[in-house]
């Protein structure tokens, strides 16, 4: 580095350099490539109904990918996110059924308990100072066991009873699992939830004080603490955000299938993390975006459904996912190094 | 004892001690910080400089002695409280978040906001403009305040941190070895800002192990060694040579010279050089 300080400042950063430093760039390039690939390989991929299917698959991942991405920017993981979705659905269903209450009561109770689990993760992290990997792995295992154990104890089987004939089911279904048509494309209401969460996540990250704190606790926790950022509070808030996402996903699961299988959700936490990472979130924290996580989720949806439309063997899905993860991460790393070449 | 004995110091430590379990990190340390003056704390690695900073910055609480702010004995419970009392600390290694833009770093922890209720948001325009203007006042012309602060050099990052402390109305500026990792030219730049902050009426605590840097800007000098004070001088009573000699440890230096001469003949030098950079007697928590 022979350039003097003054020269470096004069150069500044060009619009191209700024574009390259966007966290979601790698995932956008990947998404365009995957889209073109399936558009060529499968004629049915471009049909309106297929678009609806892809968006639906993306949205169920995307709803969780947004808060998981925010959490990752804040420097932490949540391995319990996948099973928490199932826990949340089981809770609404079983509480309403057992209490013979309006299903909205169950939905409300479920929200409180799910948020409490998120708060538990955050408080444990702040109190014990253990890695979030360990803490949420513990929560993950405990929730998996509780999902199965409580469901068998209460229902006698591994799934919940039907609640479709109960009061409030139809209105709850309209909110969490309805379908409407936009320009000939059947759109699930989860897509609206997803887009709303992406907008909310971006607003928080880019324009609020909390967003500044999220970047700071993930980028350099000690620096953040030294200037007075409430580190524990910020992280707890992030975990509760993940819990909120899990609640929305869980209610969707319940009201679209009516019954909930207690063993579901295991492994999904990794898919959320993958979507966030493909979307440009730095696994060590401090860098990333909500929009990126949405593109990551879209990539995921396109691949999982595109393989079906192209009539390829779906066994290859995981292979594509792994390859995409590696490629996107490599591209992101390369791009960031280029953008920070002045360092 | 000092020429400003009549004034109340902004910060005054008298006989302050700190223990980590059985390890004595600091014992009976006293110093004064006055407005418009630079108090230098000199000491080798492991002398207790970091512990001293952490007490003044509110990261740790002292066990013995008194810490008085504006003549009022107090005990700081958090960095936030220290900031609220007008003490801004620029840490050597934890000053900034490298991946965040300069303007976000500048306002981190004290973000100005506008709007009401759920639409309360950061005043991004104001933050960008202020950052640029304040850095310009310190003589740093940054065209793009959106670049990650990690792309700035070490000296520039220190300057941003100093500019920030000045902007937020700090009365006391604590600088933790601001020149330690810098080259000669960069150190000069930082020392200029230290002097600038002093001339604006701030009290500065300048922690360093370089007596040359200290003597360029310092008004008072406190020497630390293994947690205890080995000397206290004002600028009038001490010359640079004497300060350097005391800092290096006088007689110890002669012993070291003798030892090194033998070592060169007897064994390869790298065996010694491979040792840890910091002393093992260092208290925990100093990263």
A3 in a structural domain: no
Chain A residues with CB inside 8 Å of B57's CB? 226
| A233 lies within 8 A of chain B by CB | no
Q: Which CATH number characterizes residue A34's domain?
A: 1.10.3470
pLDDT score at B34: 92
Q: In the Cβ-directed half-sphere of B106, how many Cα atoms lie within 13 Å?
A: 27
User: Which residue of chain B comes nearest to A336, CA vs CA?
Assistant: B99
What is the rounded CA–CA span in Å between residue A101 and residue A35? 46
Residue A1 included in any domain: no
Q: Is the model's pLDDT at B67 over the cut of 80?
A: yes
| Interface contact flag, B124 A13, Cβ < 8 Å | no
Q: Which of A212, A216, A226 sits opposite B122 (nearest CB)?
A: A212
Which chain B residue shows the shortest CA-CA distance from A17? B147
Range of the domain at B236: 11-98+169-273
* Residue in the structure block whose two tokens are 């580190």: A231
In a domain, A218, yes or no: yes
Query: How many residues are listed for chain A in this entry?
Result: 343
Select from B78, B89, B122 the Cβ nearest to the Cβ of A208: B122
Alpha helix segments (H runs only) across B138-274 = 154-167, 184-199, 211-217, 240-248, 251-266, 270-273
Burial class (CB in 10 A: 0-12, 13-18, 19+), B173: buried
Specify the pLDDT at position B103.
Answer: 92
Q: Count the domains in chain B.
A: 1
Asked if B143 and A12 come within 8 Å (Cβ–Cβ), the reply is yes
Question: B108 vs A216: CB contact, 8 Å cut-off?
Answer: yes
Tell me which of A2, A215, A223, A287 to substitute to probe the interface with B (most B C-beta atoms closer than 10 Å). A223
Q: Specify the number of domains making up chain A.
A: 1
- pLDDT at res. A10: 37
Residue A3 token pair: 């350039």
- Higher-pLDDT residue of B241, A68: A68
In this predicted model, what pLDDT tens digit does every residue of B190-200 receive, in sequence order?
Answer: 888 888 888 88
Nearest chain B residue to A10 by CA: give it. Answer: B143
What ipTM was estimated for this complex? 0.81
Distance from CA of B79 to the nearest CA of A (A): 6
Q: Looking at per-residue confidence, does B274 or B213 come out higher?
A: B213
Min distance B57 CA to chain A CA atoms (Å): 9
Question: Touching check for A208 and chain B: CB below 8 Å?
Answer: yes
**Pair of tokens at residue A53:** 């299917």
> Is A204 part of any domain?
yes
Contact B95 A223 (CB under 8 A): yes
pLDDT confidence of residue A147: 94
Residue numbers in A near B148 (CB within 8 A): 21, 340
Distance CA A314, CA A258 (A): 27
Determine which of A28-32, B144-148, B283-287 has the lowest per-residue pLDDT on average.
Answer: B283-287
Q: What are phi and psi of B29, to 5 degrees?
A: -95, 130
Q: Which residue of A has its CA nearest to B287?
A: A222
Residue with tokens 């430590």: B13
Of B109, B120, B141, the CB nearest to A229: B109
pLDDT value at residue B3? 47
CB-based contact A216 B120, cutoff 8 Å? no
Torsion of CA B177, B61, B77, B86, to 10 degrees: -40
Instruction: Determine, for residues A5 and B156 on separate chains, whether the beta-carbon distance falls below 8 Å.
Output: yes
Q: Which of A152-166, B104-118, B243-257 has the lowest mean pLDDT?
A: B243-257
Residue B119 lies in a domain: no
Looking at chain A, list the stretches that DSSP marks H as alpha helix, in order from N- to C-terminal side: 5-11, 15-20, 25-41, 48-73, 81-99, 103-128, 132-155, 169-177, 189-207, 209-219, 221-226, 231-257, 268-278, 290-309, 317-339
Name the residue with higher pLDDT: B118 or A81: A81
Residue A206: what pLDDT? 93
Does some domain include residue A6? no
Are the C-beta atoms of residues B27 and B199 closer than 8 Å to each other?
no
Contacts 24+ apart (CB under 8 A), B229-238: B229/B28, B229/B29, B229/B30, B232/B30, B232/B31, B234/B2, B234/B3, B236/B3
pLDDT number for residue B166:
81
Cα Dmax for chain B: 75
The C-alpha atoms of residue A167 and residue A189 are separated, in whole angstroms, by 21
pLDDT at B269 over 70: no
CATH number of the domain bearing residue B175: 3.40.50.300
Asked if A253 and A263 count as a contact pair (C-beta separation under 8 A), the reply is: no
Task: Look at residue A168 and tell me if it is in a domain.
Answer: yes
CA distance B159 to B178: 9
């Amino acid at each position: 580095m022979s350039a003097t300080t003054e020269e470096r400042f004069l150069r500044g950063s060009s619009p191209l350099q700024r574009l390259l430093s966007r966290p979601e760039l790698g995932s956008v390039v990947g998404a365009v490539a995957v889209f073109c690939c399936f558009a060529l390989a499968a004629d049915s991929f471009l049909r309106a109904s297929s678009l609806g299917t892809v968006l639906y698959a993306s949205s169920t991942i995307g709803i969780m990918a947004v808060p998981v991405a925010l959490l990752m920017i804040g420097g932490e993981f949540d391995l319990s996110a996948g099973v928490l979705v199932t826990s949340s659905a089981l809770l609404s269903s079983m509480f309403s059924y057992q209490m013979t209450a309006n299903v909205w009561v169950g939905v409300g109770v479920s929200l409180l308990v799910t948020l409490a689990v998120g708060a538990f993760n955050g408080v444990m992290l702040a109190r014990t100072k253990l890695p979030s990997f360990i803490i949420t792995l513990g929560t993950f295992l405990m929730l998996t066991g509780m999902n199965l154990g409580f469901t068998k104890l209460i229902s006698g089987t591994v799934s919940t009873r039907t609640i479709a004939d109960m009061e409030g089911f139809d209105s709850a279904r309209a909110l969490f699992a309805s379908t409407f048509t936009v320009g000939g494309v059947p759109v699930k209401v989860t897509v609206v939830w997803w887009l709303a969460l992406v907008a909310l996540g971006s607003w928080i990250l880019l324009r609020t004080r909390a967003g500044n704190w999220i970047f700071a606790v993930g980028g350099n926790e000690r620096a953040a603490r030294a200037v007075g950022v409430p580190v524990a509070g910020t992280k707890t808030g992030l975990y509760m955000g993940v819990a909120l996402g899990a609640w929305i996903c869980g209610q969707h699961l319940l009201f679209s299938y009516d019954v909930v299988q207690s063993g579901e959700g295991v492994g999904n936490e990794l898919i959320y993390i993958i979507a966030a990472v493909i979307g440009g979130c730095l696994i060590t924290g401090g860098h990333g975006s909500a929009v990126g996580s949405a593109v990551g989720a879209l990539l995921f949806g396109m691949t999982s459904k595109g393989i079906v439309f192209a009539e390829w063997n779906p066994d290859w899905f995981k292979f594509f996912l792994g390859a995409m993860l590696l490629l996107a991460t490599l591209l992101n790393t390369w791009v960031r190094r280029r953008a920070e070449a002045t360092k | 004892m000092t020429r400003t004995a009549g004034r109340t110091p902004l910060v005054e430590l008298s006989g302050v001690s700190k223990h980590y379990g059985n390890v004595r990190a600091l014992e009976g340390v006293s110093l004064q910080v006055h407005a418009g003056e630079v108090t230098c704390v000199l000491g080798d690695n492991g002398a207790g400089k970091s512990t001293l900073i952490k007490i003044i910055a509110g990261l740790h609480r002292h066990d013995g002695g008194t810490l008085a702010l504006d003549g009022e004995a107090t005990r700081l419970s958090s960095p936030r409280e220290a900031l609220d009392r007008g003490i801004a600390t620029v840490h050597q290694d934890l000053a900034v978040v490298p991946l965040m833009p300069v303007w976000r770093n500048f306002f981190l922890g004290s973000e100005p906001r506008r709007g009401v209720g759920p639409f309360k948001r950061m005043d991004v325009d104001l933050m960008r403009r202020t950052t640029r203007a304040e850095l310009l006042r310190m003589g740093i012309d940054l065209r793009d305040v959106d670049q990650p602060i990690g792309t700035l050099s070490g000296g520039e990052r220190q300057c941003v941190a100093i500019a920030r402390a000045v902007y937020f109305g700090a009365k006391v500026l604590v600088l933790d070895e601001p020149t330690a990792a810098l080259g000669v030219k960069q150190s000069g730049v930082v020392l200029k800002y230290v002097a600038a902050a002093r001339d604006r009426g701030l009290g500065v605590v300048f922690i360093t192990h370089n007596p040359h840097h200290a003597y360029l800007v310092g008004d008072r000098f406190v020497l630390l060694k293994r947690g205890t004070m080995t000397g206290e001088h004002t600028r009038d009573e001490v010359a640079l040579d004497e300060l350097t000699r005391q800092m290096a440890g006088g007689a110890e230096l002669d012993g070291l010279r003798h030892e090194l001469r033998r070592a060169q003949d007897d064994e390869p030098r790298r065996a010694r050089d491979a040792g840890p950079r910091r002393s093992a007697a260092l208290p925990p928590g100093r990263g």
